[in-house]
Each structure stands twice: as structure tokens, then as C-alpha cells.
Amino acid sequence: MENIFAEMKVTNESFNISYGVVNFHCAVASCKDVENGIFMVLDSNSNVSLPDYDGEEDSSGDCYVNAVSMSYQPKNGSFNSQYGSQDTSMQGYYLVGEIMTKVLIVGDRNYHDANINMTFKCTEAPCDEKSQCVFWDFLSNMWSTEGCITQVTNGITKCDCNHLTSFAVLMSNSDEPDDPQNTQALDIITRVGLAISILSLIICIVFQLILLSSSGNLTASYRHISTLNISAFLLISNISFLASSFLDPVTQNDICVAFTFCTHFSTLAFFCWTMVQGLFLVCRLVFVFHHVTKREFVGLSVVLGYLCPIIIAMATYLVYSPTKNYRKHDACWLNISSGATLVFTIPVIIIMSVNVLVLIVVIRKLLRPSISEGGGEDEEAVKKMVKAIVFCTPQFGLTWAIGIPLLTKGNSLVLKYMFVLLNPIQGFFILLFTCLLDKKVCIAGVHCAESPCVYPPRIRSVVYYDML
């Protein structure tokens, strides 16, 4: 629109056109009215001046100034409201109010260097100290604050800029701007944790393949297959996420979209396989004398472990990709403002809820013998419950539950550190509890604990394990 406005012929008549949420306005004045830095009123929300204009276009005596502006009020989901910046202090902002495009034509010349004053009224929330005046930088393809000063008074943001282009107001989605030091620390912890997780998962996959090849019964095979798929999909997710962190989302869009899809699918598949593992664990605990057939295991595993995540991931891409709302502007992950992330968070919350119920069943089965023996076993019962929680939580992906409060309290630094300390090294926990503490894997002579999250033999009604 800026290019179209700049090519328009100067007119001596002002006009105003409105169409839906888009408004066009053209203010007309004599060239003499903008000499010596005099401010010209563009509309009710802005005025402009030319500090270096000397009136050279006014030699014919018939010179006009056209101040053309367009204001656009984006609807929810119709415009990408998440933006990145090379300035870490600008991260975590979202669009509020309208977008204004300003072009000034004096005679036959388009003036870009001009002083402009604008006022924005925030529509989604009151403007406050978190508001920031920005313009769209076409060179870096992102919002920038260069040349603009922000002043907030009585819920209205005033912007003073020294150039003309497309302007808007961004507001922080947190109570306090991100601390660059904390941001860097969280990034380092995440990358180191992912590197540890990737190495641990590779070792875990090797162990599970060896155990699967030597497994002598179907129950053990089911367990190793589930753990193998959990480890494999989490490995893919970790590699994809870590690799995408080194990309430039702006200049490497296609690769970024591919990594977004890969991370979305593999993470969903990881959670789906944790639910497969949990459901079969419940079958072994509750229906002690029911033998799960190979056909039942394969059928449920294919539907839950493979078809569900690939269908959800493909549907998300096909729905949101055509509108360019599939991924975030500043990262290779699903777009928050368009609602694409809901296609990930809702299934994950449902799966974690099912896994919590499985954990409750495991704890009840563990506590039943102690309760039947009387009130003298309270301490032992607490130990069993704590061990069940410690062993099962990483295998069921329940550490991700910390991310749920972050959806509403994204500024909580404590929750952020807890999340990046637990989840990036989830692969290490899986290796620890499914391999290193498994009797079949441990070296002879070392006493290892048996995870309460394994499938017990059919003749047992409860799960048991030894002390370390």
C-alpha cells in the first residue's frame, strides 16, 4: 500500500473511504502550509511536518501536499500478532489497536523523512508502560523501534517518529520485560539439557533394542516396544527443537515450517505412546488374569501411537498454513495468536490427565498391602507412594504439567526455570528409570530398583520393587 500511495498523482481534493475494518484518508494542503516545519493535520489521530522542506516544489504557485493514510484494525487471528526482534527486550510483545500506514507526497515527490505524531488507543487492553511504538522494517522484515519515541498518558499511547511508513503499538504479554540475562541462562540450560537428553535417549534405544531381541514373553515385549517408541519420538522431538533454535525464522521460512511440523508431530507421538504405556499398565494391574493379545496391542498402538498424532499434525498444517498463521513469526513453533498451539496443548492436557489417573491406580495398588497390615506401615506406604511418583512422572510425560500454568502466568521466572530444568533432560530420566535401574540391564552385583511403571507378570496383582 505504501508503494501504491507513493505512485498516486497529487490531488487538490481530500477524500475519505471506509471499507470494513480498513479506512483510507487523504488530507490536502498547500505546499506553503508545510514550510518551516509547520505541522499538517493528517487526521484526528496524527499530524506531520517536513523539517527540511524549503518550498522548492512551490515555484509554479500551484503546489499541493497530499498526506495519504490507511488504518487497519486486525481481527483476531487475521494478522500475526507475535513478533520477534534482534533486541531481546522486545521479545514477548503482541499487537494491540490498529496499524497505520502514512505517506506524504509534496508536488510530485514522495517524502519519507518527516516528523510524525500519532496517538493510538489500545483496543484489547489499556495502554500502559508496557506499550511500545514500532514501525514495520521491510529490510529486516520485523517490527522495529528505531526513530520512534513512546509516551503513554491516560491509556493512550503517543508516538513521535522521524520517518513515515507503517506504524503500530505492541504491548508486552508479561508484567515485566524479559531479563536478557535470565533469557540467556534459560537458553543455555535448555540446549545443554537437550544435548544430555539426546545422548541418553540414544543409549536407551540401544538398550531397549537388545532387550526386545532377547525378550521371552509378550508382556516384556509390549513394555520394550512402548519404551522404544517413547524414546524414539522424544529423540526426534529434541533434535528437531534443538536444530530449529539455530535457524533464522525470517529468512529460512520453509525449513522452519518443516521443523515446526516435525516437532509438533514427534512430541504428540511421544505423549500418545506414554498413554499407550499407561493403558497397558492399568490392564495388567486391574485385569490381572486377562492376557493382552498381540492383535489388541498392535491395534491400539497403531491407532493411538501413530495415526492420532500424524492426523492431528497434518490437519493443523493444512488448516493454518494457507493463512500463514501456522508458526510463530520469531520461532519454529506453532502460532499462539491464531490458536494453532491449542491443537497441541489440548491433546497433551487430555493425555496427561489420563496418565495422572494411571498413576493414581499404581499408587493405590502399591499402598493396598500396607493398609491391610494395619497402621504401623505408614512410613513404608509413604515411601512407596513417593517412589511411584518419582519413577512414573517422567515416563508418563507429567513433568510437562509445569507448562500449563505458564500459559496464564508466562512471566513466572520460577516456573520457567522449573520447566527448562525438568523437561529438556527428560531423556535422561527415561534412561535412568527404564534402563539403568532395571534389573535386566544392570551389571551383576549392583542392586537396582524395579520401576513401578513396568508391566507386571500376570500372576501378580500388585507391582513391587526392591530398595536401592
The answer to whether residues 252 and 367 belong to one domain is yes
Enclosing domain of residue 197 = 180-436
57-82 pLDDT tens trace: 555 567 888 888 888 877 654 455 44
The answer to whether residues 147 and 98 belong to one domain is yes
Distance separating alpha carbons of residues 355 and 396, to the nearest angstrom: 6
Residue 408 CB neighbour total at 10 angstroms = 7
Query: Which of 172, 193, 216 is the endpoint of a domain?
Result: 172
Angle at 98 between CA 94 and CA 104, to 5 degrees: 120
Q: Of 192-196, 317-321, 418-422, 434-438, which gets the smallest average pLDDT?
A: 434-438
Query: Which of 121, 152, 172 is the endpoint of a domain?
Result: 172
- As for how many domains the chain has, the answer is 2
The answer to whether residues 244 and 306 belong to one domain is yes
Distances (CA, A) of 130 to 87, 161, 175, 306, 336: 15, 18, 8, 44, 20
The answer to whether residues 252 and 343 belong to one domain is yes
Asked if residue 375 has pLDDT above 50, the reply is: no
Closest by Cα among 227, 224, 222 to 212 = 224
Q: Give domain status of residue 186, yes or no.
A: yes
DSSP state of 334: B
- Average pLDDT on 301-320 reads 92
The answer to whether residues 167 and 243 belong to one domain is no
The helix (run of H) or strand (run of E) holding residue 40 is strand 40-43
DSSP state of 177: P
Query: What percentage of residues in the chain have a pLDDT greater than 90?
Result: 13
What is the secondary structure of 99-166 as a DSSP string?
A: EEEEEEEETTEEE-S-EEEEEEE-SSS---TTEEEEEEETTTTEEE-TTEEEEEETTEEEEEESS-SE
Q: In angstroms, how far is CA 218 from the centroid of its own chain?
A: 39
179-214 pLDDT tens trace: 567 777 888 888 898 999 999 999 999 988 888 887
Query: Which of 130, 155, 172 is the endpoint of a domain?
Result: 172
Provide the β-strand partners of residue 153.
156
- Average pLDDT on 297-301 reads 85
The answer to whether residues 83 and 230 belong to one domain is no
| CB contact at 8 A, 159 and 140 | no
Asked if residue 21 has pLDDT above 70, the reply is: yes
The answer to whether residues 168 and 184 belong to one domain is no
The answer to whether residues 250 and 324 belong to one domain is yes
Q: How confident is the model at residue 439 (pLDDT cuts 50, 70, 90)?
A: low
| Helix/strand/coil for 120 | strand
Q: Of 133-142, 262-271, 298-307, which gets the smallest average pLDDT?
A: 133-142
The answer to whether residues 133 and 269 belong to one domain is no
The pLDDT of residue 64 is: 81
- Average pLDDT across the chain, whole number: 75
pTM of the model: 0.60
Q: Give domain status of residue 463, yes or no.
A: no
- In this structure, what CATH number is given to the domain that contains residue 352? 1.20.1070.10
The answer to whether residues 348 and 407 belong to one domain is yes
Q: Give domain status of residue 365, yes or no.
A: yes
The answer to whether residues 160 and 142 belong to one domain is yes
The pLDDT of residue 198 is: 93
The pLDDT of residue 128 is: 58
The answer to whether residues 404 and 355 belong to one domain is yes
Q: Give domain status of residue 140, yes or no.
A: yes
Q: Give domain status of residue 279, yes or no.
A: yes
- In this structure, what CATH number is given to the domain that contains residue 100? 2.60.220.50
> In this structure, what C-alpha cell is assigned to residue 3?
508503494
Buried b / exposed e across 375-388, counting CB within 10 Å, b at 16+?
eebeeebeebbebb
